[in-house]
Amino acid sequence: MQEIDKIQAIPRGEEPSLPHRAQAPGQVLAFPSRSGARLMEMPLFFLLSMTQVEDVLREAAAYPVPFSPGFIRGMAQWGGEVVPAISPEDALGLFPSDDESNAEDVEKSEPGGRWILVRSATEENGKERLLRGMLLAGAPVQILSLPIGAAPFPEEKPLPDLLRIRGIYEWEGRCLVAPCIRTLLSGG
């Protein structure tokens, strides 16, 4: 297991064909819920494929965008590009927000927190389009080498919103949730 502060950023301006998909096929990135959420008494962790991750930042700021979905905490900047800043807990319905107008203040980095730049691709009019976004993460962010010996989560319907989840596992007393990045970045 490897803890990271900053991973190697994949160069920007890539074609949407994601040539780095094969860069780290045997590794995943895991990070705890920023709010310390638990599921079935187990601490909640999020799991990403390394091929989905472009950057891990210590500092960033999210500026609120009125009328955006509750799980989008605002817009953030990455290399001159504007990307949505997403709270994965909110996206999974763990902390449903009634406030559709979004947070009113600029959300800044919390001590120990991280911002993970993720990417995915979607098809639009027959063309592949690259999507990017920041996930608000707790620390530490860890790189795990597969296989990690995780088992399917015992509960049948553990989370309110399963549409945004690709998989849910139990691993060493933790609950690992793999969010569906494409759905999150598409605002779905």
Partner 1 sequence: MDQLLVFTAVGMEFGLELGRVRGIHKERNLLAGGAAPHGSLLDLEGERMPIWDLGRLTSAGPGAADPFSVGDAQILVIEAQGGKDAFALRVEGVEGVVSAPQDQIRPLPSGFGEKPLSLFPRVLVREKGLVLVVDPRKLRELGPTPEAETSAETQPMGEAGLDGAIRELLAQEPIRARICGIMERVSTELAEERLIRLKRAWRSSRSKR
Enumerate binding residues for partner 1 (CB under 8 A).
61, 63-69, 72, 75-77, 80-84, 101, 104-106, 131-133, 184-187
Shortest distance, position 117 Cβ to partner 1, whole Å:
13
Cβ–Cβ < 8 Å for 90, 84: no
CA atoms within 13 A on the CB side of 56: 24
Q: Which is nearer to partner 1, 131 or 150 (CB)?
A: 131
User: Which residue lies nearer to partner 1 by CB, 63 or 171?
Assistant: 63
Q: Which is nearer to partner 1, 49 or 77 (CB)?
A: 77
Query: Quick one: 82 or 146, whose CB is closer to partner 1?
Result: 82
| Closest by Cα among 183, 146, 163 to 30 | 146
Secondary structure of the chain as H, E, C letters: CEEECCCCCCCCCCCCCCHHHHCCCCEEEEEECCCCCEECCEEEEEEEEHHHEEEEECCCEEECCCCCCCCEEEEEEECCEEEEEECHHHHCCCCCCCCCCCCCCCEECCCCCEEEEEEEEEEECCEEEEEEEEEEECCCEEEEECCCCCEECCCCCCCCCCCCEEEEEEECCEEEEEECHHHHHCCC
User: Which of residues 165 and 176 has its CB atom nearest to partner 1 in the complex?
Assistant: 165
Nearest distance, CB of residue 69 and partner 1, angstroms: 6
Closer to partner 1 at the Cβ: 81 or 110? 81
We find the least distance from the C-beta atom of residue 120 to partner 1, in angstroms, to be: 10
